[in-house]
Structure 1
Amino acid sequence: MVKVKVHLQPLVGNINLPTVLKTAILPGDKTERLFIATQVGEIFYIGDGVIETFLDIRPRILELGSSSGGYDERGLLGLAFHPDFNKNGLFYLHYSVAGTQGPGALPSSFKPDPCDPATLNLKWTNRETQYNHIDTVEEWFFQSNAQTQKRRTLLSIRRPYLNHNGVNSLNFSPETGKLVLTTGDGGAGYDPFNLSQDDMEIAGKIIEIDVTVNTSNDNPPVITRFQELPVPFQETLTVIAKGVRNITGISFQKFNNQFVKYVGNVGQDLVESIFSFVDYKPIPVTKLIQSSMMNAEPEQEGFINFGWRGWEGALPTSIISNCSANPALNEKVMAYYDETIATSVKRLPPLISYFHQDPRPDKFGATALTGVQPYRGNEIPDLTGSVVFTDLARNEGAPPPVRGAFAYTRVNADCKLQDFSVIEIDYDFGSKSAYFVSLGTNLNQTRLYLGVYGSVKVADHYQGTVFEIIP
C-alpha cells in the first residue's frame, strides 16, 4: 500500500476529552460548523475562528472517574443532528445520567474459565438493583434564539458495568432516515452474560430508532431488555446487528446509489476490527419479541452478526496467560469454544483485523480502536476512497510519551480480509502524551478531524486538542 504522510492543524486546545466530532449547519445559518462534544458534557462549535458553547449538560452527567482512578467510559457518548437540523433544530444525545450510580452487576472483574462451566453461563440477576448506571437517549430542540431544550426521552437503559457503553453512538442513516444507536455489550470484559448474542438484550446491538413517530409517553421506563418497553416504543425500533463488543459508531459511504456501512468493534486481547456491509435485513423489535414469546428463532437471513463473544474479529476469542513451563511465552486458550463453533458461519467476517502485538516493521501494536471514517476528499489524494481509522495508543512497549496511531485500508469488491498501512503524522506533540480519542468528518466526507487527549483519565481536565488532518 502507498505510504501516506499528513500534517495536523490545531483548531482548538485546552478542552476536556473530545468524544464526538461532527459538522452541522445551525438553523438560520449557511455555514457548516464543526461541533465538539466532550465526555464530561460540553458541546462546542467553531464559528468564525472562535469556539462557542452550544450546550452544557455537565449537571446532567454522573460524576466521572471518582470510582475508577480517573478512567471512565461513561459520560456524554453520542451526538447526532437530524438530517433537517438546519430547518427543524432537532438533535439527539446519549449520555450517562447523574445520580444513577449503582454497585454493578458483578463484585469484581470477570474472566471465563473453560474448566468451570459456571463461569460460561452467568446470568444477570436482580437487574433493578445490581447495575452500574443508567444511560439515556434524548431528543433536543435548538431554537432560533440560540436556546436549547430537551423535548423527550427515546430510551432509558440500565447498564451492568462502567465500560463498553459505546462512543460516537448516535448517527443518522442516509438510507432510512432513522437514528442509529450503537450499544456496547455492557462491559467487564468477555461479555460475562452473553448479552451481545441475546436477541432480547439492548446491549451489544445496532438499533434503528424511527424518530418521526410520536410515542404516547415521553418518559419510557428504565429497561435492559426490549420486551420491557411499552408497545409504542417497541414499534419505533428495529435491530440491524448483534454480536457487538464495544463500538465506535457507524459511518456510511455512498457508492453507485448504495451505501457501504463501516463499523469499528473494539477487541478484547488480540485484535481490533473494522466490519463493512452493504445489504442487510433489519428485524423489527416487535418481531423479535413475538419470536421470543413463542420460543422460536426469528428469521435472520440478512441480519448482521459480528460474532462476539465467540469471535474477536477474525479470530476465536481467547484467554491469554503465561505458560507455566516458560513464563516468557503465552498460552492461548479458546474462551467459548461452543459459541465460536455456533457462530462460525452466521457471523460477518471483518474487513480488517489489526493486532495488539504485531512484529512487522511497518505496522504497530494496537490498544483500542477509537474511530472509523471513509474519506472522499481530494486534498490527500492517496487516501481518496479509503477508510481511515485511529487507535488510542501504540502498544509497542516504548517509554512515555504515548502516541496514538492513524492508518488506512481499502475496500475491494472481493470482500476478502484487507491489509492496512500506517499514516505518518508530521506533528510535534512535544513531551506530552497524545492519545487519539476520536475521529470525525464533515458532511460530504472531504475533511478529517482528530481528537487528541494528553491522558486516558477523564478526571484529568483540559488536556484535549482537536486538529484538522491536512496534506
Structure 2
Amino acid sequence: MRKVKVRLQPIVSKINMPTVLKTAVLPGDSIECLFVATQVGEIFYIRDGVIRTFLDISPRIIKLGVSSGGYDERGLVGLAFHPHFYYNGLFYLHFSVAGTQGPGALPGAFESFKPNPCDPRTLNLKWINREMNYDHIDTVEEWILQSNGQLQKRRTLLNIRRPFLNHNGVNSLNFSPETGKLVLTTGDGGSGYDPFHLSQDDMEIAGKIIEIDVGKNAFYNPPVVTRFDELPAPIQETLTVIAKGVRNIPGISYQRFRNQYIKYVGIVGQDLVESIFSFVHYKPIPVTQLVQASIMNSEADQEGFINFGWRGWEGAFPTSMMKGCTANPSLDEKIITYYDEAVKTSVKRLLPLTSYFHKDPRPDKFGGTALTGVQPYKGNEIPDLTGSVVFTDLARDNGSQPPVRGVLAYTRVQTECKLSDFSVIETDYNFGSRSAYYVSLGTNLDQTRLYLGVYGSMKVADFNQGTVFEIVP
C-alpha cells in the first residue's frame, strides 16, 4: 500500500482524556463546532479557535482511577447529537454513574481471570448475585439545549449494571443515518476472555450493538438491569439488536456509498489481534422477539444478524492463550482457549475487513495494543487517503522502550474475498520525551476532516495531559 504522510495540527491542549470527538452545528449558528467529551465528564466545543465549556457533569461521574492505580475505562464514554439537533436541541450521553461502585463480579483484580482449557469450571462461569456482585452502573440519558441556552436532562433511556470496570467502549453513542435511531455499542462486560460468556447470549445487554428508537416516549426511570428480559415491555419495544459477539468497541461509523451505507466496527482484541469489520446489509432483531424466543426456549431467526464471533473468535483467529516457551523465551505457545465455541460460531460469524497483530515481524507493519478509533475519510485534502478507512491504535509495541507512541493507519475495502492490507500513516509531530497514547479518533459531519485525541499517560487520574489534533496534509 502507498505510504502516506500527514501533519498533526494542535487544536486544543492540556485537557483531560478525550473520549469523543465529533462536530455539530449549534441551534441558530451557521458553523460546525468541534465537540470534545472527556472521560471525567466535561464537554467542550471549539468555535473560531476558542474553546468553551458546553456541559460539565463531572460530579455525576464515578470516581475514576481509585480502585485500579489510576487506570480506568469508565466515565463519560458516549456523546451523540440528534440528527435534528439544530432544530430540537436534543443530545445523548453515556456515562458511569457516581456512587455506584461495587466490589466486582469476581474476586481479585479486574483482569485476573484466566480460563483453563483443561478445567471446565473456568469455561462455564455464571454471573450470580448480580445486584451485589457488580462493578458499576452505566446510564444513557437524553438532554436538551433549550431555546434560552440552558441545558437540561430530559429523561433516562437505560441503566445498565456492569460486572467489571473495563470494556465500556469509547464513542459508544452514534446515530444511524439509515434508521435515524440512536446506536449504543456495549463491550462484553470486561475482565478478560469474557468470563461469563455474555457476548453471545441473546438476553445479555453486554457485547451487543443496540438501536434505540428515541422517538418513542417509553423511558421514565428505567430499572437497573443487565439483561433485556429484565426491562419493562414498553422499553423492550424501543430496542433492536444489530449485532452480538463484541469484546470491546470504539463505536460504529457509517460511510455513504451510492444509495446505501457501509458500516465500520472496530473490535479490540485479547492477546493476538485487533480487528476492523465492515458490513452493508444486516437484519436487526427486535428485543421483543429475542425475549419471546428465550421464554419459548428457542432461538429467534438470526438470518442476516451480525455476529463478530467473540469469545470463540478473535478477529480472523480462534481465541488463543499465549504462553511463554520455557525452552525458548523468544517463542510463544498458542493454545486455542474455547475450541468448542470456535467451532459453534465458525460459520455464523462475520469475517473481518482487516486484522493487525500485537506482534508483527514484517518490517513495514507494527505491533498494536488496542484499537481506539475507526473512521472513513471522504475528503480530498489528503488524496492518498480519500475513500479509505483510517484507524488508531493506543500504543505501538516497541519492546517497552519509552516514550510510548500511538499508531495512525489506514485500510481499504477490497472487492476480493480476502483480508484487506493496511499501512501506517506517518506523522511529523514531535512529542519530545513525553508519551503519546492515541486514545480517540473523530470526523466532521461529512467525513472530510479527521481529528485525533492524544494523551500523555495511560492513567485517567493523571490530569490535563490531553491534546486534540486535526490530521492535515
TM-score (norm 2): 0.99
Partners of 1:154 and 1:122 in 2: CA distance: 30
Contact 1:28 1:144 in 2 (8 A): no
Partners of 1:364 and 1:329 in 2: CA distance: 18
Partners of 2:97 and 2:448 in 1: CA distance: 35
Which of 360, 364, 369 does residue 371 from structure 2 map onto? 369
Partners of 1:260 and 1:413 in 2: CA distance: 13
Partners of 2:120 and 2:326 in 1: CA distance: 23
Q: Which residue of 1 aligns with 2:161?
A: 158
Contact 1:20 1:168 in 2 (8 A): yes
Partners of 2:25 and 2:321 in 1: CA distance: 47
User: Partner of 1:203: helix, strand, or coil?
Assistant: coil
Partners of 1:250 and 1:220 in 2: CA distance: 25
Q: Which residue of 1 aligns with 2:409?
A: 407
Q: Which residue of 2 aligns with 1:306?
A: 308
**Deviations along 1:64-108, whole A, 9 cap, x unmatched?**
001100000000000000000000000000000000000000002
Matched, 1:433 2:435: yes
User: Partner of 1:396: helix, strand, or coil?
Assistant: coil
TM-score (norm 1): 0.99
Q: Which residue of 2 aligns with 1:114?
A: 117
Which of 168, 192, 196 does residue 193 from structure 1 map onto? 196
Q: Which residue of 1 aligns with 2:277?
A: 275
Amino acid at match of 1:292: S
Which of 174, 177, 183 does residue 177 from structure 2 map onto? 174
Aligned-residue Cα RMSD (Å) equals 0.8
User: How many pairs are equivalent?
Assistant: 470
Report deviation, 1:324. Answer: 3.5
Q: Which residue of 2 aligns with 1:80?
A: 80
Q: Which residue of 2 aligns with 1:223?
A: 225
Report deviation, 1:43. Answer: 0.1
Partners of 1:378 and 1:330 in 2: CA distance: 44
User: Partner of 2:424: helix, strand, or coil?
Assistant: strand
User: Partner of 1:197: helix, strand, or coil?
Assistant: coil
Over the matched positions of the two proteins, sequence identity in percent amounts to 79
Q: Which residue of 1 aligns with 2:45?
A: 45
Which of 417, 420, 435 does residue 419 from structure 2 map onto? 417
Partners of 2:451 and 2:358 in 1: CA distance: 25
Contact 1:33 1:45 in 2 (8 A): yes
Contact 1:167 1:247 in 2 (8 A): yes
Partners of 1:297 and 1:323 in 2: CA distance: 42
**Deviations along 1:88-143, whole A, 9 cap, x unmatched?**
00000000000000000000220100000000000000000000000000000011
Q: Which residue of 2 aligns with 1:14?
A: 14
**Deviations along 1:142-194, whole A, 9 cap, x unmatched?**
11232111000000000000000111000000000000000000011000000
Report deviation, 1:326. Answer: 3.2
Partners of 1:425 and 1:362 in 2: CA distance: 15
Amino acid at match of 1:401: P
Partners of 2:285 and 2:380 in 1: CA distance: 38
- Structure 2 residue runs of 5 or longer lacking an equivalent are none
Report deviation, 1:35. Answer: 0.0
Matched, 1:202 2:205: yes
Partners of 2:383 and 2:245 in 1: CA distance: 35
Q: 1:213 to 1:405 in 2, by over 3 A?
A: same
Report deviation, 1:415. Answer: 4.3
Partners of 1:51 and 1:144 in 2: CA distance: 21
Partners of 1:73 and 1:125 in 2: CA distance: 23
Report deviation, 1:416. Answer: 2.2
Partners of 2:433 and 2:138 in 1: CA distance: 36
**Deviations along 1:232-264, whole A, 9 cap, x unmatched?**
000000000000000010000010111000000
Matched, 1:100 2:103: no
- Structure 1 residue runs of 5 or longer lacking an equivalent are none
Partners of 1:398 and 1:41 in 2: CA distance: 31
Which of 342, 346, 349 does residue 340 from structure 1 map onto? 342
Contact 1:45 1:53 in 2 (8 A): yes
User: Partner of 2:205: helix, strand, or coil?
Assistant: coil
